[in-house]
């Protein structure tokens, strides 16, 4: 069987034709504004905690606080991935049986792109930025405590934070994909304590 060879131009034209068939989604200006306010508020709050606690804390406590920021970023990244990969049909079935948290899970699945954006991009990225800035403070505290070269300490601390964040998110993504339904259910059950969507 002889296969027809397609030129790059033909392939691109086919892909463009397919894109044109897709339903055009308008930019949700209201959502962008909400994300802007949310990002500014969360970032301001986390930075305030970081800047008021770590410089005045002991080196060990500063490290613990930084690790908590990293862990928080990884945790919300797991939730964001779980929301996008979970099976919506399962939660519709659970919602019909009035299982606690199922209505929240359905709401999250219907707005998976927005929930994932908040968890992975807003909270996840803010935690990355704040933990990086906290790392610089830890480097300064370490330099003063141990009298080591500041450049070496800063580079080492930055590298450690990068490794923990990236490896944590890489492991978290695999876990989130494999356990997406369970993670979304547990998260939704917790959120249902504070929020119940209108039916």
The answer to the question of residue 37 being in a domain is no
How many folded domains does the chain comprise? 1
**Residue in the structure block whose two tokens are 């069987």:** 1
Q: Is residue 9 part of a domain?
A: no
For residue 4, being part of any structural domain is answered with no
State the helix-helix crossing angle for 59-85 and 150-178, rounded to 10 degrees. 30
| Boundaries of domain holding 106 | 43-185
Which residue in 117, 78, 107 sits closest to 192, CA to CA?
107
26 domain residue, yes or no: no
pLDDT digits (tens, 9 = 90+) for 93-140: 888 888 888 899 999 999 898 899 899 888 988 888 888 888 888 888
pLDDT tens digit string along 186-196? Answer: 999 999 888 77
Per-residue buried b or exposed e for 85-118, using 16+ beta carbons within 10 Å of the residue's own CB: bbeeebbeebbeeeeebbbbbbbbbeebeebbbb
The most distant pair of C-alpha atoms in the chain lies apart, rounded to whole Å, by: 74
- Is 16 a member of any domain? no
């Amino acid at each position: 069987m002889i296969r027809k060879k397609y030129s790059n131009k033909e392939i691109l034209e086919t892909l463009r034709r397919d894109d044109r068939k897709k339903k055009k989604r308008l930019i949700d200006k209201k959502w962008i504004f909400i994300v802007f306010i949310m990002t500014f508020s969360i970032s301001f709050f986390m930075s305030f905690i970081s800047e008021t606690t770590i410089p005045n804390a002991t080196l060990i406590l500063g490290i613990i606080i930084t690790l908590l920021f990293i862990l928080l970023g990884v945790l919300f990244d797991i939730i964001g991935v779980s929301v996008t990969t979970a099976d919506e049909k399962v939660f519709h079935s659970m919602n019909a049986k009035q299982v606690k948290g199922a209505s929240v899970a359905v709401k999250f699945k219907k707005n998976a792109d927005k929930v994932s954006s908040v968890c992975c991009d807003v909270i996840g990225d803010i935690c990355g930025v704040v933990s990086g800035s906290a790392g610089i403070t830890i480097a300064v505290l370490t330099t003063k405590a141990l009298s080591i070269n500041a450049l070496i300490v800063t580079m080492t601390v930055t590298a450690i934070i990068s490794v923990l964040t990236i490896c944590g998110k890489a492991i978290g993504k695999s876990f989130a994909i494999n356990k997406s339904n369970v993670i979304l259910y547990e998260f939704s059950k917790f959120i249902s304590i504070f929020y119940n969507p209108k039916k």
